[in-house]
Structure 1
Amino acid sequence: MTTTADMWFDPVCPWAWITSRWLLEVERVRDVRINFHVMSLSVLNEGRDELPERYRDFMTTAWGPVRIAVAAEEKYGPEILRDLYTAFGTRIHHDKTPVGPDLFRDVLAELGLSEDLADAAGSDAFDERLRASHHTGMEPVGYEVGTPVIHIPGSDGELIAFFGPVVTPIPRGEAAGRLWDGVLLVAGTDGFFELKRSRTRSPEFG
Structure 2
Amino acid sequence: MTEQVTFWFDVACPFCWQTSRWMKEVQKVRDIDVEWVPMSLAVLNDGRDLPADYAAAMEANWGPARVFAKVKEERPDQVDALYTAMGTLVHPGGEGHKQGYGAYDEIIAKALAEVGLPEHFAEVANTTECDDLLRGFHAKAIEAVGDDVGTPVVALNGTAFFGPVITRVPEGEEAGELFDHAVGLASYPYFFELKRTRTEDPQVR
What's the CA shift for 1:48?
1.0
What's the CA shift for 1:191?
1.5
Where do 5+ consecutive residues of structure 1 fail to align? 154-158
Deviations 1:118-157, CA, capped at 9 Å, x for gaps: 111101111111111111112121111011111122xxxx
Equivalent in the alignment of 2:53: 54
Tell me if the contact between 1:40 and 1:66 (Cα under 8 Å) persists in the aligned partners. Answer: yes
Tell me if the contact between 1:24 and 1:34 (Cα under 8 Å) persists in the aligned partners. Answer: no
Q: Aligned runs of 1:158-169 on 2, under 5 Å?
A: 159-169=158-168
The one of 79, 88, 100 equivalent to 2:104 is 100
Equivalent in the alignment of 1:196: 195
The one of 60, 63, 84 equivalent to 1:86 is 84
Equivalent in the alignment of 1:110: 114
Equivalent in the alignment of 1:31: 31
Q: 1:176, 1:127 → 2: CA distance? A: 35
Where do 5+ consecutive residues of structure 2 fail to align? none
Equivalent in the alignment of 2:143: 139
The one of 151, 154, 159 equivalent to 1:150 is 154
Moved beyond 6 Å, runs of 4+? none
What's the CA shift for 1:188?
2.1
Please tell me the root mean square deviation across aligned C-alpha atoms, in Å: 1.2
Q: Percent identity?
A: 44
Give the counterpart letter for 2:89 in structure 1.
R
User: Which sits farther off after the overlay, 183-192 or 135-144?
Assistant: 183-192
Tell me if the contact between 2:6 and 2:36 (Cα under 8 Å) persists in the aligned partners. Answer: yes
Equivalent in the alignment of 2:9: 9
Q: 1:196, 1:4 → 2: CA distance? A: 24
Q: 1:202, 1:116 → 2: CA distance? A: 35
Q: 2:58, 2:193 → 1: CA distance? A: 26
Aligned residue pairs total 199
TM-score (normalizing by structure 1): 0.93
Q: 2:116, 2:31 → 1: CA distance? A: 30
TM-score (normalizing by structure 2): 0.93
Tell me if the contact between 2:37 and 2:72 (Cα under 8 Å) persists in the aligned partners. Answer: no
Equivalent in the alignment of 2:132: 128
